[in-house]
Amino acid sequence: MVTLLEFLVAALLVIGGVFGIVGSFGLIKLNDPMSRLHAPTKATTLGVGGVLLASMLHAAAFEKYFSFHELMITLFLFLTAPITANFIAKVHIHRQETRDTMPEAGGDDHWATHDTPEDEQRRQAAPTPPADE
């Protein structure tokens, strides 16, 4: 029975870690803000939830106490993440942001940006502003 509980704790930790990595990667690599909002509110929340569930199971099974604090953290996380995402999405929709109104990502060699070849051609065709002296 102890081995089964150890495997269950390990599986919850691995599942939580995978969800955390996928959510973090999605936050960096997805194209637009609405897609980027989806990654941390879904996948990363499940990742943290998996780690908290593993910790609660470990405390109950091996240390013989119930972790009320971790249960409260889990409930708080699962209740507040969707609400926060909803508020951020409403602001994004209300501001009517488009790809053209968003600021440029900067000169970081296209890391975590959504530049396309068409954007590069448009930038090269536009006249360069005079340099301030």
Q: Are 18 and 47 in contact (CB under 8 A)?
A: yes
Q: Is residue 23 in a domain?
A: yes
Q: Is residue 130 in a domain?
A: no
The domain tally of the chain equals 1
State yes or no: pLDDT of 111 exceeds 70.
no
State yes or no: pLDDT of 95 exceeds 70.
yes
CA distances from 55 to 14, 37, 93, 129 (A): 12, 27, 38, 57
State yes or no: pLDDT of 107 exceeds 90.
no
State yes or no: pLDDT of 52 exceeds 80.
yes
Q: Is residue 114 in a domain?
A: no
User: What are the φ and ψ backbone dihedral angles of 82, each rounded to 5 degrees?
Assistant: -65, -35
Q: Is residue 116 in a domain?
A: no
- Of 42-46, 74-78, 113-117, the poorest mean pLDDT is in 113-117
Cα four-point dihedral sign 64, 69, 73, 75: positive
Q: CB neighbours (10 Å) of residue 48?
A: 18
Q: Is residue 117 in a domain?
A: no
Q: Is residue 102 in a domain?
A: no
pLDDT in tens, 6-43: 999 999 999 999 998 988 888 888 777 777 787 778 88
Q: Is residue 113 in a domain?
A: no
Q: What's the whole-model pTM score?
A: 0.64
Match 């470990």 to its residue by tokens. 58
Of 37, 21, 74, 99, the C-alpha closest to 66 is 74
Torsion of CA 15, 18, 19, 20, to 10 degrees: 120
Q: Is residue 110 in a domain?
A: no
Residue 68 belongs to domain spanning: 2-96
